[in-house]
Amino acid sequence: MKIFFYGLLTALLLNLPTHGQTKTKIIFDTDTNNEVDDQNALAYLLLNDQTFDVLGVTVNATRNGGNVTEHYKEAERIITLCDRPKTKLIMGVNDNFDRILPDLNNDKHDGYEAVDFIIKSVKKYKKDVVILAVGKLTNVALAMAKDPSIINDIRIVWLGTNYPNYREYNFVNDIPSMNYIMRTNAHFEIMPCRYNMESGTAHVKVYKEAIVKKMKGMGPTVNTTIIGRHGGEFSNLGDYLSSLFEHIEYYHNPPSRSLFDMVAVAVIKNNDWAERSEITPFIYENERWNTIGKGKRKVILWEFFDAEAIMDDFYKTLNPQTK
């Protein structure tokens, strides 16, 4: 009996999350078919089993990558190639916050499945669940507007803005959703992109000549064959990610591509890979940033990301034998 007990105890301990911590419950809100960073971020998230308990993946449509159905299909491809068939994949919005808001009382408004899933999850787990949004904030903002009782319990981490500068893709796709969240008391953390600046997630990048070759053969190989976004058949995750890098536009010299969304996953995994500060909430109105509120509420800002540590962990996660 003692031998059985100690054997069971050992087995349980070996399956504990890294560092003996409980897993981080997370909902990944993504415009997966937009470019290449969402796919890499989702794969990195799903393969970090010891760190994350992925409650679900909610999708939304931004202006690139087609309607929300195409984003759903791309997320489904990554989930399949990661060999995580039990992952919940939930359809979200096509349209934007201001246009959907008047229809929230309708049972099947645009994006209702993702919105209701976020509400249900926050009510069940309270502050124990992180909503990681790496596209526009529409699904998240609508969930808060539909059921304001979740506002004090929701935890949002957003890959978005070039604050205090303008532009940035996720931000301009639905500015009202960000403004709405900023005006609430919700816990809100931001990881800015800041193109061409060392302080932003754009600083974590891969290079064309290396990444296409490096990714081939990495990650799981599954029995199911998927048809890729650009055609072709794939049963290996790395082969598919490599094909995505073959079909993307590169910038600068030497040609490179930033992995914005993957950086956000990495920092939730290890806060030491970025610098944290607290700032006064802000909104964007009349073509300018305006700080709002002078109370105790602050927004958390993450900057200066450790590119070397993040990329090293990314590759080790996709290719565990290198650990």
E strand or H helix at 1: none
Please give the pLDDT value at position 12. 36
Residue 183, in any domain of the structure:
yes
Whether residue 213 is contained in a domain is answered as yes
pLDDT of residue 108: 96
Report yes or no on 19 lying in a domain: no
Give φ, ψ of 29 to 5 degrees. Answer: -105, 115
Domain count, the chain: 1
**Domain assignment present for 4:** no
pLDDT along the chain (323 residues), means of 10: 38 40 94 97 97 98 96 98 98 98 96 98 97 98 98 98 94 98 97 96 95 96 96 98 96 94 98 97 94 87 98 93 52
Instruction: Please tell me the predicted confidence (pLDDT) of residue 321.
Output: 62
Cα(230)–Cα(249) distance, rounded to whole angstroms?
A: 14
- Cα–Cα nearest to 177, from 138, 134, 143, 132: 138
Domain range for 77? 24-322
Residue type, position 154, single letter: I
Question: Is residue 17 included in any domain, yes or no?
Answer: no
Q: First CA to last CA across the chain, in angstroms?
A: 36
> What's the whole-model pTM score?
0.92
What pLDDT does residue 149 have? 98
Element (H, E) at 205: strand 205-207
Render pLDDT for 142-163 as a digit per residue (tens, 0 to 9).
999 999 999 999 999 999 999 9
**Is 11 inside a domain boundary?**
no
295 contacts: CB under 8 Å, gap ≥ 6: none
**CATH number for position 117:** 3.90.245.10
Is 9 a domain residue? no
Residue 262 lies in a domain: yes
